[in-house]
Amino acid sequence: MNVASLTIDAVRSSIQERHTTALALAEAHYARIKERDGEIGAFLTLCRDRALAQADRIDRMAEEGEPLPPIAGLPIAIKDVMSTRGVRTTAGSKMLEQYIPPYDCTAVSRLESAGAVVLGKTNCDEFAMGSSNENSAFHPVRNPHDLNRVPGGSSGGSAAAVAADMVVAALGSDTGGSIRQPASFCGVVGLMPTYGRVSRYGLIAFASSLDHIGPLTRTVKDAAIILGTIAGRDPMDSTSAEVPVPDYVAELEKPVRAMKLGVAKEYFGEGLNDDVRQAVEAAIDKLRNLGCEIVPISLPHTPYAIPTYYLIATAEASSNLARYDGVRYSLRARGVKTLSEMYRRSRDEGFGTEVKRRIMLGTYALSAGYYDAYYLKAQKVRTLLTRDFDEAFQRVDAILTPTSPTAAFRLGEKSNDPLSMYLADIYTVTADLAGIPGISVPCGKTKEKLPIGLQILGKHFDESTILRVAHAYEQA
């Protein structure tokens, strides 16, 4: 079975019309995983029994002529920072290497209720901290387009699994660009919804005011379908918003003619690769040709986004990761004699270098005498960044930017230069800080045939607009 071009609609209709079965689709994708994942490393854990049981339920419904749920039989992967009942969930860390959750993440349970077949858990940077997927405690992920390059991070496993046709769709999480940047590097669609649009219940926390769950897919329509499935208020997450969820798929076909699309000069300055610039400018021209009005805008506080992000995110990480103390469900060091030694050694053995770096940065920013100078000031600048977007969206319907300043870089290229690695997120962290939605859609390739992504940012809870623009561009 050719699994390379399947979409959600094609999967469901082929099962409904009995051209194939959910079981056959699941087995075909497991065969693909066996064929490709040895060299890519996208998966950490497969859950064949769970997947085949779900596929069997879907097939019985089809045999009995029952209406199938919206995403019946969809082979999907879940980033390993989302809890899955009875299935190992590591967050890419030795700290949680043996952790098996007793409950499901809300997003996962909503997908399965809608008929999705969860094939396994994808590799990621440890606790979602990274831009290259080299920080996994187990092994790096390689980019399917060039095995010597990174897939992006931290949702690199999910992006690579979709790009290599091992699944039709995947869930990722985005705290500073971790869905959109891997989508750009791997040539797939990556959608980060508005903060509060999708429940974070069951997501292992990195930075609680910045974490989002969203889909990685082959097409914009598939991203719209997945978002419609997982979005909506959840009483288990107090930050999930009581905001109506529109029919994203119906919204896709609305015309984009006469829409005003902003282009901010701050996203086209120093450090932007020439191939990326040309591809994104060509995409902007394509949207202009579709009848969109391109409006020059300014987001003046953008240069402060990286330092602001790396103060707020690390401060929240320091707080969230304090729970991994060797006492409850995390790794516990062996042969210790005192409580303080157990804390110290368990955290030293369980956390990797990048996680330790961020815990120390965050603890420093929150410490007495430095809180006002660093964390409090960063929160004030976050407000200014949000205000920049609010003012821009009074003039435009959406904003167009590159997703990343470069295409995928080589494995190991930035490993010893944390600042250079952090700057890979320079165009994505702003949306996380402001809580607005963003999508990355493929818009061309470099001279080395590496994918490039166009980023489209929208107003709070206006995913419909960015999906419309992305879909119009994709179809054109």
Instruction: Give the CA dihedral 414, 417, 419, 425, nearest 10 degrees.
Output: 10
Q: What's the gap between Cα 468 and its chain centre?
A: 20
Question: How far is Cα 166 from Cα 42, in angstroms, rounded to an integer?
Answer: 9
Q: What is the mean pLDDT of residues 280-284?
A: 98
Give 165's Cβ-side CA count (13 Å radius).
13
Assess whether pLDDT exceeds 90 at residue 303: yes
Residue 467: closest CA among 183, 248, 139? 248
**pLDDT recorded at residue 419:** 85
Domain 8-252 belongs to what topology? Answer: Amidase signature (AS) enzymes (3.90.1300)
Give me the percent of the chain exceeding a pLDDT of 70: 100
Question: Are 135 and 125 within 8 A, CB to CB?
Answer: yes
Average pLDDT, the chain: 97
Domain boundaries of the chain, sorted by first residue:
8-252
Residue 58: closest CA among 1, 16, 2, 27? 16
Dump pLDDT digits (tens) for 138-194. 999 999 999 999 999 999 999 999 999 999 999 999 999 999 999 999 999 999 999
Dump pLDDT digits (tens) for 76-94. 999 999 999 999 999 999 9
Residue 211: closest CA among 467, 459, 435? 435
Number of neighbours of residue 188 by Cβ within 10 angstroms:
29
User: Which residues are known catalytic residues?
Assistant: 79, 154, 178
Dump pLDDT digits (tens) for 240-263. 999 999 999 999 999 999 999 999
Give me the percent of the chain exceeding a pLDDT of 90: 96
**pLDDT recorded at residue 5:** 86
Question: Are 192 and 415 within 8 A, CB to CB?
Answer: no
Angle at 24 between CA 23 and CA 25, to 5 degrees: 90
Residue 367 banded pLDDT, cuts 50, 70, 90? very high
Question: Are 443 and 230 within 8 A, CB to CB?
Answer: no
Assess whether pLDDT exceeds 80 at residue 65: yes
Say if strands 75-79 and 169-174 run parallel, antiparallel, or are unpaired: parallel
Assess whether pLDDT exceeds 80 at residue 391: yes
Assess whether pLDDT exceeds 70 at residue 349: yes
The amino acid that residue 57 corresponds to is R
**pLDDT recorded at residue 37:** 98
Can you give the three-state secondary structure of the chain, one letter per residue? CCCCCCCHHHHHHHHHCCCCCHHHHHHHHHHHHHHHHHHHCCEEEECHHHHHHHHHHHHHHHHCCCCCCCCCCCEEEEECCECECCECCCCCCHHHCCCCCCCCCHHHHHHHHCCCEEEEEECCCHHHCCCCCCCCCCCCCCECCECCECCCCCCHHHHHHHHCCCCCEEEEEECCCCCHHHHHHHCCEEEECCCCCECCCCECCCCCCCCEEEEEECCHHHHHHHHHHHECCCCCCCCCCCCCCCCHHHHHCCCCCCCEEEEEHHHCCCCCCHHHHHHHHHHHHHHHHCCCEEEEECCCCHHHHHHHHHHHHHHHHHHHHHHCCCCCCCCCCCCCCCHHHHHHHHHHHHCCHHHHHHHHHHHHHHCCCCCHHHHHHHHHHHHHHHHHHHHHCCCCCEEEEECCCCCCCECCCCCCCHHHHHHHHCCCHHHHHHCCCEEEEEEEECCCCCEEEEEEECCCCCHHHHHHHHHHHHHC
**pLDDT recorded at residue 70:** 96
Which tokens sit at 152? Answer: 């992006």
Residue 1 banded pLDDT, cuts 50, 70, 90? low
Question: Are 183 and 290 within 8 A, CB to CB?
Answer: no
Pick left, alpha or beta for residue 258 (phi over 0 → left; psi -120 to 50 → alpha; otherwise beta). Answer: left
Question: How far is Cα 155 from Cα 224, in angstroms, rounded to an integer?
Answer: 19
Dump pLDDT digits (tens) for 393-430. 999 999 999 999 999 999 999 988 888 898 889 999 99
